[in-house]
């Protein structure tokens, strides 16, 4: 335990930089992915014919292993291999792929009675979507977002294999020097980060769905 | 262990080189060809998934049937999802491999002497990653079985074991199969990373070795992307074949092929099942 702490102190600035890269790569791709997935998921739920092709396409993206994307994207985007942006784009693609179906299913699962009640109260189509349908599906979308966040954080470390510097660099260091300390430290920090993301999203869901607690309290 | 230091490549060989590389028959055949590495990759995957099935399926059925230990299953799944696969591979290779004093090769798969101490830790990681999707989906599948169907089965005089085998297992099969598919995708992806361990090969070796000589127009970037495309193709073929298998093994009365829309399936803890992580 003290060895871990010692290593952490000795390499503080490196680790802080890598942690920061990991945080903004995971967080950024999560946000961008969500922003892309929301309209796509809405289309898939609103126009039923578009559901199968969109969800199938998303599933196809999901079958591509991350290291393959990390390697192929520089050639497609014209970026440098070591550019972290490749990792960001790949993670965004995974986030979208995972969330499109979740958003579509979440929106579809909102009960028709509820939407009719809103219509009867004079809500226009757009008001119904933003004031009723989206908020009601927040728990479902949020659950998908949690899965995406946790997997994003742990996927980023794979980018070390192509040389992008982030927390996975600790694994490379450990394997080069055949020492366990940096490896264990890397696993611990990455898992803590993943749980931190999870907790933040969980808190966000809680704050955005006050009615759930109101119902439970009754 | 391979060193990972290489210069930043500003002028990569173009992607068109990838087609040239993939169309060269000499890259496919021979003792170091794509087909050989593909075979290794498939064998590592199948072994890991079969072991994971043997472990996870009975536990999932038991927990789903009795309702005991559900908290553990959920916690384990969420916890394991946060573990970085690469970290686990490196950790076990550095820590466990030197402790395994077996110098055997694995005939027909890895011919290097001393490959076994590296294969065992890698397979352990692959099994660990393959278990959660199967386990949570089996559990959720059994939990989602219509309680009336279960009661009816009991009322007909079925024993607990018969209820599991004749009612709960068939009813949970769609979810179990989707968990299996997630597992297979994840293992195929992670087996690519496993090339990080010495001797093991697999399709990932092209990516790891190619990164050292990335500007090489043959073995560098084109080989990395070419092998990557083969991995993606393998994942796709595996996914499609399992979908076909699923169509045959799941009873049409359960698969809902006669229904117009499928309900979203949710586990009791609110996690959306069936959107398991696949890419690694």
Tally A–B CB contacts below 8 A. 189
- Sort out which chain B residues have CB atoms less than 8 A from A176's CB and list them: 1, 3-4
Strand partners, B110: B106
* Comparison of pLDDT for B196 and B125, the residue scoring more: B125
Between residues A28 and A160, which one has the greater pLDDT?
Answer: A28
pLDDT (tens digit per residue) in B80-89: 888 898 899 9
Q: Does A6 touch chain B (CB under 8 A)?
A: no
pLDDT digits (tens, 9 = 90+) for B27-53: 888 778 899 999 999 999 999 999 999
Distance CA B200, CA A189 (A): 28
Enumerate residues 6+ apart whose C-beta is below 8 A from B262: B256
A79 touches chain B (CB under 8 A): no
Contacts of B212 in chain A (CB under 8 A): none
Q: Determine the pLDDT at residue B280.
A: 42
| pLDDT value of position B4 | 43
Examine residue B23 and state whether it is found in any structural domain, yes or no.
Answer: no
Structure tokens at B197: 């361990």
Q: Please tell me if residue A110 touches chain B, with a CB cutoff of 8 Å.
A: no
A173–chain B Cβ distance below 8 A for any pair: no
Mind listing the pLDDT tens digit for each residue in A121-158?
A: 999 989 999 999 999 999 999 999 998 999 899 889 98
Helices B70-82 + A138-156 axis angle, to 10: 50
DSSP state of A10: H
Single out the residue of B45, B131, B114, B122 nearest to residue B91, CA to CA. B122
pTM of the model: 0.84
Domain boundaries, position B132: 34-255
Contacts of B232 in chain A (CB under 8 A): 63-65, 68
CATH number at residue B83: 1.10.3720.10
> What distance in Å separates the CA atoms of residue B106 and residue B120, rounded to the nearest whole number?
11
- Nearest one of B229, B228, B210 to B219, comparing CA atoms: B210
Query: Where in chain A are the domains?
Result: 2-207
CATH placement of domain A2-207: 1.10.3720.10
Counting the structural domains of chain B, the total is 1
What's the token pair of residue A209? 């769905």
Q: B5: exposed, middle or buried (C-beta count within 10 Å: 0-12, 13-18, 19+)? A: exposed
Residue B29 included in any domain: no
Nearest CA to CA, how far is A127 from chain B (Å)? 25
B3: which chain A residues are within 8 Å (Cβ-Cβ)? Answer: 176
| Confidence bin at B276 (pLDDT 50/70/90) | very low
Residue B7 has a CB neighbour count (10 Å cut-off) of 10
Q: Examine residue B274 and state whether it is found in any structural domain, yes or no.
A: no
């Amino acid at each position: 335990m003290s060895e871990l702490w010692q290593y952490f102190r000795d390499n503080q600035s490196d680790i802080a930089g890598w942690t920061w890269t990991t945080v903004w790569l995971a967080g950024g791709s999560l946000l961008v992915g969500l922003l892309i997935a929301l309209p796509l998921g809405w289309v898939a739920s609103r126009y039923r014919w578009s559901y199968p092709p969109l969800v199938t396409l998303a599933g196809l993206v999901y079958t591509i292993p991350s290291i393959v994307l990390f390697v192929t994207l520089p050639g497609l985007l014209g970026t440098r291999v070591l550019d972290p942006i490749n990792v960001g784009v790949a993670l965004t693609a995974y986030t979208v792929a995972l969330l499109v179906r979740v958003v579509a299913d979440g929106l579809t699962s909102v009960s028709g009675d509820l939407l009719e009640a809103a219509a009867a109260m004079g809500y226009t189509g757009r008001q119904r979507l933003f004031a009723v349908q989206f908020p009601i599906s927040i728990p479902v979308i949020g659950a998908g977002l949690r899965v995406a966040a946790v997997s994003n954080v742990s996927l980023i470390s794979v980018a070390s294999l192509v040389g992008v510097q982030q927390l996975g660099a600790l694994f490379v260091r450990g394997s080069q020097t055949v020492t366990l300390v940096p490896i264990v430290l890397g696993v611990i920090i990455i898992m803590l980060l993943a749980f931190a993301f999870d907790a933040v999203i969980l808190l966000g869901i809680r704050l955005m769905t006050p009615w759930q607690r109101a119902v439970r309290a009754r | 262990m391979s060193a990972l230091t290489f210069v930043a490549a500003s002028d990569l060989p173009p992607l068109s080189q990838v087609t040239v590389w993939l169309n060269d028959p000499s890259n496919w055949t021979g003792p170091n060809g794509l087909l050989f590495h593909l075979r290794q990759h498939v064998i590592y995957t199948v072994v890991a998934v079969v072991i994971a099935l043997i472990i996870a399926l009975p536990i999932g059925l038991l927990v789903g049937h009795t309702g005991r230990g559900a908290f553990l299953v959920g916690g384990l799944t969420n916890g394991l999802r946060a573990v970085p696969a690469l970290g686990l591979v490196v950790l076990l290779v550095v820590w466990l491999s030197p402790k395994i004093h077996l110098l055997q090769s694995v005939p027909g798969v890895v011919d290097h002497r001393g490959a076994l101490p590296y294969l065992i830790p890698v397979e352990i990681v692959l099994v660990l990653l393959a278990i959660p999707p199967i386990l949570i989906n089996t559990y959720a599948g059994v939990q989602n079985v219509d309680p009336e169907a279960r009661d009816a089965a009991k009322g007909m005089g079925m024993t607990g074991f018969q209820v599991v085998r004749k009612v709960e297992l068939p009813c949970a099969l769609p979810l179990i199969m989707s968990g299996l598919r997630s597992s297979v995708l994840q293992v195929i992806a992670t087996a690519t990373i496993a090339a990080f361990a010495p001797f093991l090969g697999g399709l990932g070796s092209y990516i790891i070795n190619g990164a050292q000589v990335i500007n090489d127009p043959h073995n560098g970037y084109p080989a990395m992307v070419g092998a990557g495309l083969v991995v993606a193709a393998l994942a796709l073929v595996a996914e499609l074949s399992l979908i076909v298998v699923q169509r045959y093994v799941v009873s049409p009365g359960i698969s809902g092929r006669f229904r117009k829309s499928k309900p979203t399936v949710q586990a009791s803890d609110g996690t959306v099942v069936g959107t398991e992580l696949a890419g690694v």
